[in-house]
Amino acid sequence: MPARFYCKNIGGRTAELDEAESHHVQHVLRLSVGDEVELFDGSGASASASVANVSRNRVDLTVNNLRESGALSRARLIVAAAPPRGDRLKSMVEKLTEIGVDDFIPLRTVRSVVDPRQSKLEKLRTTVIGAMKQSGRNHLMKIHEATDFSVALRTAAAERQIISLAHPGDIARTATETEQRDTLLLIGPEGGFTREEVLQASDYGATRISWPEGILRIETATVVFAGLLISRMYQTR
């Protein structure tokens, strides 16, 4: 399979890679003129292409076969999660990209301990592109700015999204049901959501979801519940 590269503009007969992708072509894979590659633009379109010119910090390509993007055949899934510490956040973003999550929001809660700044968010966006290249996904997962819990709830309500809150407890339900509407999945920090936050989410109509086999770490819960919700979306489309 040809190597895959992210390129925003692939609709014409030619395309140009940005500096980071050009570096990967030249200094990591050491491709040369005539080599075949695969391009994707992040909106769902992809194309086969060939290297036309290699110069300092720039690679030009000839676009051979454009495959237009199609709309998603399911509702969107937005994951808002309190970021875990260290490399666990990067790994979590990789997995969310691979399974098809559409948006990721770093969530600020009362018990949050990590608040990623702009430089960290830019690194996460690079992580998303790397995961797309590896997994074959063509739709870009958008990384949002860090957002307060209350703001995430208000936005979801205004956009008529289904709200699912991951929170253990006797009255919670497992994530087995959803509709064909965009869904916001809320994942709390290591200490969990506070009682006040749970009540606030309930006021916005959130459904509590839980895992039947104990309490999951942030990155585990995020991937598990996101996978369950996406699977359910495909089953009910």
- CA 82 from centre of chain: 14
The Cα-based distances of 169 to 81, 110, 174, 219, 223 in angstroms read 19, 19, 11, 19, 20
Q: Per-residue DSSP letters for 33-44?
A: TT-EEEEE-BBS
Domain ranges of the chain: 3-67, 77-236
pLDDT of residue 11: 87
Q: In the 8-state DSSP scheme, what is residue 57? A: T
For domain 3-67, which CATH number applies: 2.40.50.140, 3.30.420.40, 2.40.240.20, 2.60.120.280?
2.40.240.20
- Separation of alpha carbons 159 and 166, rounded Å: 20
Closest C-alpha among 197, 219, 200, 233 to residue 77: 233
What DSSP string describes 120-146?
HHHHHHHHHHHHHHHHT--BPPEEPPP
Is the pTM for the entire model greater than 0.85?
yes
What DSSP state is assigned to residue 15?
E
Q: 81 with 106: CB under 8 angstroms?
A: yes
pLDDT reported for residue 173 = 54
In this prediction, residue 237 carries a pLDDT of 61
DSSP bridge pairs for 124: none
Identify the pLDDT of residue 176: 47
Residue with tokens 């209350």: 150
Closest of 151, 79, 78, 142 to residue 109, by C-alpha: 151
pLDDT given for residue 69 in this prediction? 73
* pLDDT recorded at residue 171: 52
Series of mean pLDDT values for 10-residue runs along the chain (237 residues): 91 92 92 94 93 91 86 88 95 97 97 92 95 92 97 97 87 53 95 95 94 91 95 79
Residues 174 and 197: their CA atoms lie apart, in Å, by 19
Distance (Å, rounded) from C-alpha 26 to C-alpha 59? 8
Whole-number Å distance between alpha carbons of 88 and 105: 15
- Residue 33: its pLDDT value, please? 95
The CATH number of 77-236 is which of 3.40.50.1370, 3.30.43.10, 3.40.1280.10, 3.30.465.10?
3.40.1280.10
In whole angstroms, what is the distance from residue 103 CA to residue 67 CA?
23
